[in-house]
C-alpha cells in the first residue's frame, strides 16, 4: 500500500490512508481529472512565473520548474502522461512528476493551495468549452439559415393541433433566435468565468507577496476575483450556471427532436436513411433513434444541473470536497450538448419537407380559419362575432367533409351577410398564400455574433 510519504500532506498523520478510502475519494475523480492536465500545467507555469516575478523564486528555480512543466505538457499531448490514482488528483500528480525532474519542484506550491488550483483549472477549461460551444451554436444557426433559404410553406401547431400556415423560413428563424439567446447567456457567463481565482489559496489568501494581476494577465483573465473566501466557497456556482445554459440548449434540441419525430411519423418531413436505424424484429421500421436519445440527453443534462444545485445547497462556507463531484456532472453535460448540437447541425439541412403533405395537413387542420375571421373582421364585424361565425363555418365544413379552400364567396356571403371578393377569399383560405402575407421579419445577421465570439477568444488569450 502507498503511504503518506507520497502524499503532500503527511506530517500531521499517524496512519496512512487506506487503499479503499483513496479509491472511494479518487478513483473516479482521477479519470475526470485527465481533461484538466493541460490547464493545470499552464496554470502552474503562470504561477511559477509570478513567483519569479515577485522574487519568491530565484531565476534558476523558476526556469527548472517551468522546463519540467513544459516537458510534461508535451508528454501529455503525445498521450504519454497518465495519472496515478494513488496520488489523489491531477495537482499532486503534476507536482510529484515535476519534483522528480527538479528538486525545486517542492517550491512550486508556495503561496497556493489545491483549492485555488482546481478552481483555476476549471475556469480555464470552462472558458475553452464556452467558446467551443459558442462556435457550434453559430454552426447550428448557419444550418438553420440554410433552411431559411428554402421557400416552402410549413405548419405551426398549438396544443399539438394545426394552428396557422407559416413558412419553413419562419420556423427556422424562430429556433435561430431562440438559440441566439443561449449564445448571449454564454457571453454573460464568460465575463463571470474569466476572472482569476489563483492566489485565493485555501480559502483565506496568503501573506506571501503575490501578484494576482500578473497571473491574470498571463492567463488571459479580464480581472481578479478579489475575495479568497468567495473564490473557495462558491466553487460550483459557475459550473451550475454553465449547466443551466446547457439545459436551456438541450431543451430546445429536445423540442426540435419531438417535433421531428412527430412530423416524420406523419410523412410531412423525412429524416435521411443515413441518420436512422432499423429494428431487429420489425422489418418495416426506420427509426430516428437519435432524436429520442437527444430528448433523453436533455433529461440527463437537467438531472445533472439538479445534482449540482443539490450538492451546493446547505453547504457551510469555505471549501468542501462535495464540489469535487461536480466535475463529472459538468463534463458529461458538456459532452452530450456538444455532440447533440453538432449532430443536429449536420442533419437539419438534410431534412426533406414533403410540400404536398404540408398543404394537406394545413387544409385538414383548417389552418386558415384565423385569416378568414380576420377578413370578416376587416369588413366590419367585431372580432368576437367574426370568430364565432367562422367557428360555425368550420363545424359545418367538418360535417360536410370539405376544406375551407372550397368555400365560395357566395356561400360566405350567405352565412355572414358580407360581400367578399373571390380573390380576397382565395388568399385568406389558401394555406400556401396565407402565410406570405403575415411575415416581414427582420433578418438577424450572424456576423455581429461571430465578431462577438471572436472578441471572446481574444479576451481569453493566454500570454504565457
Return the active site residues.
159, 279
CB of 415 to its own copies, least distance (A): 12
Dist CA 343 CA 340 (whole Å): 5
Q: What cell numbers appear for 101 in the block?
A: 525532474
Name the residue nearer to its own copies (CB basis): 77 or 266. 266
Name the residue nearer to its own copies (CB basis): 374 or 432. 374
CB of 350 to its own copies, least distance (A): 10
Q: Measured in Å, how far apart are the chain's first and last C-alpha atoms?
A: 39
Name the residue nearer to its own copies (CB basis): 128 or 213. 213
CB of 280 to its own copies, least distance (A): 4
Name the residue nearer to its own copies (CB basis): 398 or 462. 398
Dist CA 367 CA 425 (whole Å): 14
Name the residue nearer to its own copies (CB basis): 73 or 373. 373
CB of 250 to its own copies, least distance (A): 8
Query: Closest by alpha carbon to 64, among 98, 41, 90, 95?
Result: 98
CA 226 and chain centroid, separation: 28
Q: With beta carbons less than 8 A apart as the criterion, state whether 217 and 464 touch.
A: no
Dist CA 309 CA 319 (whole Å): 16
CB of 329 to its own copies, least distance (A): 7
Residues 6+ apart with CB under 8 A from 98: 44, 65, 68, 69, 72, 105, 108
User: Which alpha helices (H) appear in 102-211, and where do they start and end?
Assistant: 114-148, 168-193
Dist CA 9 CA 16 (whole Å): 11
Q: β-strands 352-353, 269-270: how paired? A: antiparallel
Name the residue nearer to its own copies (CB basis): 74 or 227. 227
Name the residue nearer to its own copies (CB basis): 266 or 451. 266
Residue 14 is classified by DSSP as S
Q: What cell numbers appear for 429 in the block?
A: 383560405
CB of 4 to its own copies, least distance (A): 8
Q: How many CB atoms lie under 10 A from the CB of residue 201?
A: 21
- Exposure string for 294-328, b = 16+ CB within 10 A, e = fewer: bbebbebbbebbebbeebbeeeeeebeeebbebbe
CB of 311 to its own copies, least distance (A): 4
Amino acid at each position: 500500500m502507498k503511504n503518506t510519504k507520497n502524499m503532500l500532506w503527511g506530517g500531521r498523520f499517524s496512519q496512512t490512508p487506506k487503499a479503499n478510502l483513496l479509491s472511494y475519494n479518487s478513483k473516479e475523480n482521477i479519470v475526470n481529472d485527465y481533461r484538466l492536465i493541460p490547464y493545470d500545467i499552464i496554470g502552474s507555469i503562470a504561477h511559477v512565473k509570478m513567483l519569479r516575478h515577485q522574487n519568491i523564486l530565484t531565476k534558476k528555480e523558476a526556469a527548472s520548474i517551468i522546463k519540467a512543466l513544459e516537458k510534461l505538457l508535451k508528454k501529455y499531448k503525445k498521450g504519454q502522461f497518465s495519472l496515478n490514482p494513488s496520488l489523489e488528483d491531477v495537482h499532486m500528480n503534476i507536482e510529484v512528476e515535476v519534483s522528480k525532474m527538479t528538486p525545486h519542484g517542492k517550491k512550486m506550491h508556495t503561496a497556493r493551495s489545491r483549492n485555488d488550483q482546481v478552481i483555476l483549472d476549471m475556469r480555464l477549461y470552462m472558458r475553452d468549452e464556452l467558446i467551443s460551444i459558442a462556435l457550434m451554436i453559430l454552426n447550428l444557426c448557419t444550418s438553420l439559415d440554410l433552411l431559411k433559404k428554402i421557400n416552402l410553406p410549413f405548419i405551426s401547431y398549438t396544443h399539438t393541433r394545426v394552428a396557422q400556415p407559416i413558412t419553413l423560413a419562419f420556423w427556422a428563424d424562430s429556433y435561430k433566435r431562440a438559440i441566439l439567446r443561449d449564445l448571449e447567456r454564454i457571453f454573460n457567463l464568460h465575463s463571470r468565468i474569466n476572472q482569476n481565482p489563483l492566489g485565493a489559496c485555501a480559502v483565506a489568501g496568503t501573506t506571501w507577496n503575490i501578484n494576482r494581476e500578473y497571473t491574470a494577465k498571463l492567463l488571459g483573465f479580464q480581472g481578479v476575483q478579489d475575495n479568497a473566501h468567495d473564490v473557495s466557497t462558491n466553487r460550483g456556482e459557475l459550473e451550475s450556471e454553465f449547466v443551466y445554459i446547457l439545459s436551456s440548449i438541450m431543451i430546445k434540441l429536445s423540442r426540435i427532436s419531438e417535433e421531428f419525430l412527430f412530423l416524420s411519423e406523419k410523412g410531412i418531413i423525412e429524416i435521411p436513411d443515413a441518420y436512422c436505424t432499423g429494428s431487429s424484429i420489425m422489418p418495416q421500421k426506420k427509426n430516428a433513434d437519435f432524436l429520442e436519445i437527444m430528448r433523453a440527453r436533455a433529461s440527463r443534462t437537467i438531472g445533472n444541473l439538479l445534482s449540482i444545485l443539490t450538492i451546493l445547497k446547505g453547504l457551510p462556507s469555505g471549501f468542501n470536497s462535495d464540489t469535487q463531484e461536480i466535475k463529472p456532472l459538468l463534463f458529461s453535460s458538456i459532452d452530450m450538448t456538444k455532440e447533440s448540437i453538432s449532430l443536429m447541425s449536420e442533419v437539419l439541412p438534410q431534412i426533406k419537407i414533403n410540400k404536398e403533405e404540408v398543404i394537406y395537413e394545413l387544409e385538414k387542420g383548417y389552418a386558415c380559419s384565423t385569416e378568414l375571421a380576420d377578413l370578416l373582421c376587416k369588413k366590419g364585424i367585431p372580432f368576437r362575432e367574426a370568430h364565432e361565425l367562422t367557428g360555425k363555418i368550420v363545424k359545418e365544413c367538418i360535417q360536410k367533409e370539405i376544406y375551407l379552400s372550397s368555400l365560395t364567396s357566395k356561400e360566405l356571403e350567405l352565412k355572414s351577410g358580407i360581400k367578399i371578393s373571390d380573390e380576397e377569399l382565395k388568399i385568406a383560405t389558401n394555406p400556401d398564400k396565407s402565410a406570405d402575407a403575415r411575415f416581414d421579419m427582420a433578418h438577424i445577421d450572424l456576423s455581429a455574433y461571430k465578431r462577438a465570439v471572436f472578441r471572446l477568444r481574444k479576451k481569453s488569450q493566454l500570454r504565457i
